[in-house]
Copies of this chain bind each other. A is one copy, B any other.
Amino acid sequence: MKTDIEIAQEANLKPISEITEQLNLEITDWEPYGHTKAKISDSLLEKFKDRPDGKVILVTSINPTPAGEGKSTVTVGLGQALNRIGKKAIIALREPSLGPVMGMKGGAAGGGYSQVLPMEDINLHFTGDLHAITSANNALSALIDNHIHRGNELNIDPRRVEWKRVIDMNDRVLRQIVIGLGGPLRGVPREDGFNITVASEIMAILCLSTSLEDLRERVSRIVIGYTYDEKPVTVKDLKIEGALTLLLKDAIKPNLVQTIENTPAIIHGGPFANIAHGCNSIMATKTAAKLGDYVVTEAGFGADLGAEKFLDIKTRAGEFDTSAVVIVATVRALKMHGGVNKDELKEENVEALKAGMENLQKHIETIEQFGLPFVVAINKFPTDTEQETNFIKSWCESRNIEVALTDVWANGGEGGIELAEKIIDKADNENQDFQRIYDLNDTLETKIRKVAQKVYGADDIELSAKAKKQLVFYEQQGWGKLPICMAKTQYSLSDDPSLLGRPRGFTVTIRELRPSIGAGFIVVLTGDMMTMPGLPKKPAALNMDVTPDGKILGLF
C-alpha cells in the first residue's frame, strides 16, 4: 500500500492561480505563497457581503479511539464527492501544528486519495500563520516581563502572570521553568512555562475573529494575569494591542490550497480542542461560504467536544448557520467502544460492534438536541467485514437514521458519493429547528451543568472548592455571559478516559476555570489538560530527510 506522501507526490496539482480563477477571484483578492498555496484577502468578506452564503456542513464523529476515525479524510473526501456530483463545494479545515510532526508519524491533512496538498508544506511551515501566532504570543510575554522589570507601573503580581510563552514544538522540559535568573540585568525571576503554539489564546482569537478590527478588539481584552490586589490586567492596559495585531495582519488571511482531486480547500487556524474550541477559523468558513455553494468543515475530537463547541461557540461568534451534520464512525472504533482491545480489531466481532453502537447513539442524540439534520458516515477500513458494515447499516435503517458507507481514503471523491447525495438532500430539503445547548444569559454554572447533562449524559457536575470561588469571581468580573469551553478528555463521554461506550450514572468533576476573555469564552477544566506534548522514544524526526534535489523522505 502506498503511503500518504507517495500518493501526494504522484498528484497532479494545478497552479493555485487556476484554482483562484475557478473561484472567480481577482488578483487583488489573493496573494500567492509559492505556486500552489495562496492567502485570500481578509477584505473579501466585506467585498462580498451581499452575496448569499453557501450552506455549511459540519463533519464530527464518535469519541476518538487509537483505532482512528479519519474525520479529516472524510471531510476532504466528501468535498471531493460533492464536486463530482456537480456541486460547488469548498473544504474548510484546521491547519496542523509543526510540533507533533517531529514527534509522531502521521500528518493532519487528510490521507490517501482524500488529502489536501502540498501536504509537506501544510505540515511544515505552510504560510507562516503558526509562526506569526508564536511571535505575537511571545512579544506579549516579553512586554509583560519588561513592564515588570522596568518599574511595574501596573502593579502586576509576577506570581499571578497567567500568560505563558509558546513554541511550536513538543518540548516537555519547557513545561515548568524558572526565568529571569542571573541578577538585575536579567529581569525579575518567576516561575513560567511554555505551551505549544496551538494552545495559545491568540490562536483561539484568530479563529474566532470576523475581521482584523475584531481581532484587534479581542486581543486588547486578553487577561494576562492579575495585580497584587487581584485585579485583572489586560493587553489594553499594556497598550500593545496594535503591535500584536500588526504581527497577525497576514495570519488572519485564510489559506487556499487544493485537494488531490483539485477541489479548493481553505486551511486556516487550528486551536486545541480541549482548552480551546478546536475548529478552523471563522474567516475560513465564512470565506468558503462566499466562494462555494457548500462548505464542508470539521471540528476537533468527537461531537461531545467538537460539535458542541462548533455550535455553541463558533457559530455564535461567526453568526452563521449549520445546514447539516455528518457523524463519522468506524467499525474498528465502535468495536473498541464495545470492549475489544486494540490488538484484536482485525477480527470480525459483531457482538462488540453492537455494544459499541451506544457511543454513536449518544452523539446522534446530541445532534438531534441541536435540531440539525444529519447522516452517519461509516468510514471504511480494509479490515472491515461486510457483516460488520451491514450491521451498522441496518442498525441505522431500523431507526430511520440516514447512513452512508464511505471509502474515501482508497477511492477519493468516488468513495464518498453516496454520502454526498444523502447529505445534500438533508441540507437542502430537511427542516431544522436549531437550538443551542445553553443560553448566554444562563449562569456559568448552569451552562456547565447543561453541557454535562445534555451532551455528556452525566447525572450532575461537582465543583471543586477552587472552581466554586472562581465562579463567584468570574461573575463579579462580568464574565458570566460568555460561552463556556469545556476541556475534557476526548476519549470518553465522561471525564474518565477509561470509560468507553456510553457511560451512565457519572458526575463530571469541575476542577478549575480559566478566562479566555480575548477569545471570548471561559475554559472549564475537568482534569489535567496537557498543553505541551512531549516527544516519543523514537521521534519521527529520526526518519526525515531531504535529498539534494529537494525530494522529501520520511515525513509520513
Give the B-binding residues of A (Cβ under 8 A). Answer: 27, 31-35, 39, 42-43, 98, 102, 124-125, 128, 131-132, 134-135, 138-139, 141-143, 145-146, 149-151, 167-182, 185-190, 211-213, 216, 239-240, 242-243, 245-247, 249-250, 534-535, 537, 539, 541-546, 548-550, 552-555
Known: A131-B135, A138-B167, A212-B546. 10 other contacts (CB 8 A): A32-B35, A42-B550, A102-B139, A131-B134, A174-B179, A176-B182, A185-B534, A187-B534, A240-B542, A246-B552
Contact partners of A170 in chain B: CB under 8 A:
142
From the candidates B125, B149, B245, B535, name the one contacting A128 in the complex (CB within 8 A): B125
Using A34-B31, A178-B177, A242-B554 as known contacts, say yes or no to A549 and B172 having CB atoms under 8 A apart.
no
Chain A contact residues: helix, strand, loop or mixed: mixed
**A150 and B534 alpha carbons, distance in the complex (Å):** 11
B173 adjacent to A179 (CB under 8 Å): yes
Instruction: Out of B42, B134, B190, B242, name the residue touching A544 (CB < 8 Å).
Output: B242
Point out the residues of chain B lying under 8 angstroms from A124, CB to CB.
246-247
Which residues on the B side are within 8 Å of A553 (C-beta)?
Answer: 242
Q: How far is the CA of A186 from the CA of B530 in the complex (A)?
A: 11
What separation, in Å, do the CA atoms of A170 and B139 have in the docked complex?
A: 8
Q: Which of B125, B243, B245 contacts A102 (CB 8 A)?
A: B243
| Min CB–CB distance A456 → chain B (angstroms) | 27
**Can you name 22 A-B pairs with beta carbons within 8 Å?**
A31-B34, A98-B135, A125-B135, A138-B167, A139-B541, A142-B169, A143-B535, A143-B539, A145-B173, A146-B172, A173-B179, A173-B189, A175-B187, A177-B177, A177-B179, A177-B180, A177-B181, A187-B534, A212-B548, A243-B545, A245-B545, A245-B546
Q: Which of A174, A247, A552 has the most CB of B within 10 A?
A: A174
Q: Please measure, in the bound complex, the distance between the C-alpha atom of A139 and the C-alpha atom of B553, giving whole angstroms.
A: 18
Choose from B141, B216, B550 the contact partner of A171 (Cβ within 8 Å): B141
Whether B125 contacts A131 by the Cβ 8 Å rule is yes
| Closest chain B residue to A538, Cβ basis | B150
Quick check: A135 and B212 within 8 Å, CB to CB?
no
Considering the chains assembled together, what is the distance between the CA atoms of A470 and B125 in angstroms?
39
